[in-house]
Amino acid sequence: YVAKSGGTVVEAYDPARDGSTAQALGVLGELRGAMRRGELVLHYQRKECLRTGRVVGAEALVRWRHPERGLLGPGAFVPQVEASSLVGEFTLHVLDLALAEAATWRREGHDVPVAVNLSARLLLDADLPVRVADRLARHGLAPDALVLEVTETVAKSELEVVDRVLRGLHALGVHLSVDDFGTGWSSMTFLSRTALHEVKIDRRFVAGMLGRPTDAAVVRATVELARGSGLVVVAEGIEEPAQRAALLAAGVEVGQGYLLGRPVPAAEFRRSLERAPVAPVPAVAAAAVPV
């Protein structure tokens, strides 16, 4: 059968097409009900300007308030979901939650874009830009209120389709971010960079940059690439003041990490917005930052 989800026809979940381990089936069998019962919740982690400390965005990170297993992180179920036919429905569900929250921030006077993680597999769906536009309109949000973080794990054979979808999203005005930059096959570097808005340096390079010259080199190279292409650079996983300082010195403008703020439930994130003023995303650093 075909399930209707808020007016959009989505593929029905078919267990036969999914991974067959008992646990995967357990998770997937429960997920639909979990979405209906509101057990999936988003926590929000601030993205801030490293120079001023102001919030420039927030990343939505999914958690499952499982009735028996407690609060589950994405590692416990997202990989199974992504390998299943439920991925489209799941992503639109998460997108809806995130946009509803961003609409609330806006009503409370905070112009903070929300970032949602997107499975690269969804970029094979030619209708994705239309679906996203529909969701934005429903929440009364402009496209630039949304950032889509895509992990760079796209097969070369699929690049052409993916590129078309990325261009469609870009044309819509949604900001596209390359997540975990440097860890994948770097196939994203073959894509039209004009469609991209930001790159996120993976936290493994941030963790290593003070001790390993090769990690520091990846950070510098990413900043170079980004400047050449007019992209905003975000560093993830900042845990220590020395990392923050080194990133700033290397020309990274935006950061995320436990040092700046842990992912927190929506209510707590809203309270943190009340405490600090919000700045627009800083311009791409042509500015005088010593490298």
**Binding region for ligand C2E (CB under 6 A) out of 1-9, 137-145, 234-242, 244-252:** 234-242
Rounded least distance, CB 52 to ligand C2E, Å? 20
Residue 62 touches ligand C2E, criterion: CB under 6 A? yes
- The residue among 89 and 179 lying less far from Mg ion, judged by its C-beta, is 179
Of 61, 154, 169, 201, the one binding ligand C2E by CB under 6 A: 61
- The residue among 149 and 215 lying less far from ligand C2E, judged by its C-beta, is 149
Residue 74 touches ligand C2E, criterion: CB under 6 A? yes
Interface with ligand C2E in residues 166-195 (CB under 6 A)? 179-180
Q: Which residue is nearest to Mg ion (CB)?
A: 149
- The residue among 45 and 80 lying less far from ligand C2E, judged by its C-beta, is 45
Residue 48 touches ligand C2E, criterion: CB under 6 A? no
Rounded least distance, CB 286 to ligand C2E, Å? 27
- The residue among 129 and 263 lying less far from ligand C2E, judged by its C-beta, is 263
Residue 66 CB-density burial (10 A; 0-12 exposed, 13-18 middle, 19+ buried): middle
Rounded least distance, CB 109 to ligand C2E, Å? 26
Q: Distance between CA 218 and CA 52 in Å, rounded?
A: 25
Residue 253 touches ligand C2E, criterion: CB under 6 A? no
Rounded least distance, CB 200 to Mg ion, Å? 5
Distance, CA of 286 to chain centre: 25
DSSP the chain: --EEETTEEEPPP-GGGS---HHHHHHHHHHHHHHHTT-EEEEEEEEEETTT--EEEEEEEEEEEETTTEEE-GGGTHHHHHTSTTHHHHHHHHHHHHHHHHHHHHHTT----EEEEE-GGGGG-TTHHHHHHHHHHHTT--GGGEEEEEES---GGGHHHHHHHHHHHHHHT-EEEEEEETSS--GGGGS-GGG--EEEE-HHHHHHTTT-HHHHHHHHHHHHHHHHHTPEEEE----SHHHHHHHHHTT--EE-STTT---EEHHHHHHHHHHS-B-PPPPPS-S----
Q: Distance between CA 54 and CA 39 in Å, rounded?
A: 31
Rounded least distance, CB 50 to ligand C2E, Å? 14
Residue 6 CB-density burial (10 A; 0-12 exposed, 13-18 middle, 19+ buried): exposed
Sketch the per residue contact string, 190 through 229, with ligand C2E: x for CB under 6 A, - otherwise. -------------x--------------------------
Of 143, 237, 251, 255, the one binding ligand C2E by CB under 6 A: 237
Rounded least distance, CB 287 to ligand C2E, Å? 25
Sketch the per residue contact string, 108 through 147, with ligand C2E: x for CB under 6 A, - otherwise. ---------x-x----------------------------
Give contact residues for Mg ion (rule: CB under 5 A).
Answer: 117, 149, 179-180, 200, 236
Residue numbers of the site for ligand C2E (CB under 6 A)? 45, 61-62, 73-75, 78, 94, 117, 119, 149, 151, 179-180, 203, 236-239, 256-258, 263
